Amino acid sequence: MFINKKSILFGCGIMAKIKNKFVCQECGYESLKWMGKCPECGVWNSFVEEIENPSNKTFLATTSIAMPLTVDEIEITEEERFKTGSNELDRVLGGGIVKGSLILVGGDPGIGKSTLLLQVSKNLSVEGYKVFYVSGEESEKQIKLRAKRLDVKGNNLYIVSETNLDIIEKQIENIKPDVVIVDSIQTMFKMELQSAPGSVSQVRESTLTFMRIAKGMSIPIFIVGHVTKEGSLAGPRVLEHMVDTVLYFEGERHHTYRVIRAVKNRFGSTNEIGIFEMKGDGLREVLNPSEVMLSGRPENVSGSSVVCSLEGTRPVLVEIQALTSATAFGMPRRMATGIDYNRVVLLMAVLEKRVGMQLQTYDAYINVVGGLKLDEPACDLGIVCAIASSFRNIPIDSKTVVIGELGLTGEVRGVNFIEKRILEAQKLGFEKCIIPYENLKTIEGDIDIRVIGVKNIYEVLEEVLGG
């Protein structure tokens, strides 16, 4: 009897073929044939051939059916949390680690993801929690070398170098840890799947497995994810939808400061940030980021202004620098670092139209000192003042903070939490704070700083530049 090699016995005498399919490695779109451009996400050359084996599909049968309940019948309790030993990370997580949560940590290569998680492992193991650190990229000896540099010790920290999900699952069942750390999800694989580690199907199946372990055993699991050259997490977009929390570890590799922020958090705010400084012995928390961001700030130099940005519940004073110079070409150049480029172009257009500054023949370069990224409108006045100061070559008083949103007609609009911003400036020794006129009536606390309310861009420039 002749049996086709591409056929296998499936079920009770039913023959099923092994199917080949092509899967987009960016979005997970499936096609029966190879395509140069993905019709779903538009990425070129992203299709990879994978083998779909019907015999390897598992079908789960449940004996009980979940009955629907009314909203009044559902009982809830506050999520049980425990601290990581890092106040900055706890702030971003919403107060600590929630049991049974699945946390995805993404960031550029070499930014410090493994270092941060290894330090968290140390803090948890010292407190008596059992931590299971799974590495698919480094051997146990390599991790030990880094642990020695970070002074990581303890009998509660278990380390294994493994990529097979079936083996890892059995080890978790045997050890019964309190926290699991997986570095990284792109290296994990299941034997049942024919595709290579890091492919869409492997990443999706691996995340599903860890999600089942986290929810079934009430074990919080940290998984590390790589990012693409565009800065987004590698793998299918469904990866971010499956996890409870998505953290991004940001910063320049050649700078010492790192920022961790939550872009998704089912158990807390997504506006909080944590700031760390990379040292020779690991990451150190920055407890007063305003003071750090303003250290080394030059005085009596044009093109520099200070704004107060609100990151979650934390006000942070940041220096914005601007440089304008006559262009040597017909088309002036615009460059923005740490600020949305389109926002800078819009604000420069307001200066040209409402104030009459002839910026169309000048190159403009805007930079946020310290590597932070500002995306709230309250920083508009700081950007405008820095550009105008550089254009007119008039320094802004180093003891002045500028806060406010600028409209297209040149009006200054109010911002939220103005009192908290003013108190942060007062704490660091600033003497004058320029705010929107609408916010003056909302100030109720004891303010020991000169506060000036402005209604439009003309009044702002009159205060900071003298006209």
Digit-coded pLDDT (tens) for 116-130:
999 999 999 999 999
3-class SS at 73?
A: coil
User: Is pLDDT above 70 for 16?
Assistant: no
User: Is pLDDT above 50 for 7?
Assistant: no
Q: Are 237 and 28 in contact (CB under 8 A)?
A: yes
User: Is pLDDT above 60 for 225?
Assistant: yes
The torsion defined by the Cα of 189, 195, 196 and 199, in degrees rounded to 10, comes to -80
User: Is pLDDT above 80 for 54?
Assistant: no
Q: Which residue has the tokens 């016995």?
A: 9
E strands, 359-403, are 362-368, 400-402
pLDDT band (50, 70, 90) for residue 58:
very low
Handedness of CA 3, 5, 11, 16 (dihedral sign): negative
Q: In the CATH scheme, what architecture does the domain 81-287 have? A: 3-Layer(aba) Sandwich (3.40)
Taking residues 217-221, what's their average pLDDT?
94
Q: What pTM does this model have?
A: 0.74
Residue 317 CA to residue 306 CA, distance in Å, equals 7
Q: What is the pLDDT at residue 202? A: 87
User: Is pLDDT above 60 for 64?
Assistant: no
Q: What is the pLDDT at residue 441? A: 86
Residue 24 CA to residue 37 CA, distance in Å, equals 9
Percent of residues, the chain, with pLDDT higher than 70: 89
How many Cα atoms occupy the beta-carbon half-sphere of 113 within 13 Å?
26
Taking residues 103-113, what's their average pLDDT?
89
Residue whose C-alpha is closest to residue 6's, from 58, 48, 53: 53
φ, ψ of residue 345 in degrees (nearest 5): -60, -40
Q: What is the DSSP letter of 352?
A: I
φ, ψ of residue 311 in degrees (nearest 5): -105, 95
Q: What is the pLDDT at residue 6? A: 42
Mean pLDDT, the chain, as a whole number?
86
Taking residues 414-432, what's their average pLDDT?
92
Q: In the CATH scheme, what architecture does the domain 292-465 have? A: 2-Layer Sandwich (3.30)
3-class SS at 459?
A: helix
44 residue type, one letter: W
Digit-coded pLDDT (tens) for 293-346:
888 888 889 999 999 998 877 899 999 999 999 998 888 999 999 999 999 999
User: Is pLDDT above 90 for 20?
Assistant: no
Q: Are 254 and 237 in contact (CB under 8 A)?
A: no
Q: What is the pLDDT at residue 2? A: 43
Q: Are 57 and 18 in contact (CB under 8 A)?
A: no
E strands, 39-129, are 47-52, 81-82, 97-98, 102-107
Q: What is the pLDDT at residue 240? A: 83
Digit-coded pLDDT (tens) for 127-155:
999 999 999 989 999 999 999 999 888 88
| Domain residue limits, the chain | 7-56, 81-287, 292-465
Residue 206 CA to residue 185 CA, distance in Å, equals 7
Question: What's the longest Cα–Cα distance across the chain?
Answer: 97
pLDDT band (50, 70, 90) for residue 14:
very low
Q: Are 187 and 226 in contact (CB under 8 A)?
A: no
Taking residues 50-68, what's their average pLDDT?
56
pLDDT band (50, 70, 90) for residue 74:
confident
User: Is pLDDT above 80 for 4?
Assistant: no
φ, ψ of residue 63 in degrees (nearest 5): -90, -15
Residue 411 CA to residue 413 CA, distance in Å, equals 6
Rg for the chain, CA atoms, rounded: 27
Distance of CA 200 to the CA centre of its chain: 22
Q: What is the pLDDT at residue 405? A: 96
Q: What is the pLDDT at residue 47? A: 84
* Token pair in block for residue 78: 């506050």
323 residue type, one letter: L
User: Is pLDDT above 90 for 226?
Assistant: no
User: Is pLDDT above 80 for 265?
Assistant: yes
Residue whose C-alpha is closest to residue 105's, from 185, 11, 26, 23: 185
User: Is pLDDT above 60 for 194?
Assistant: yes
Residue 413 CA to residue 406 CA, distance in Å, equals 6
299 residue type, one letter: E
Q: Are 436 and 415 in contact (CB under 8 A)?
A: yes
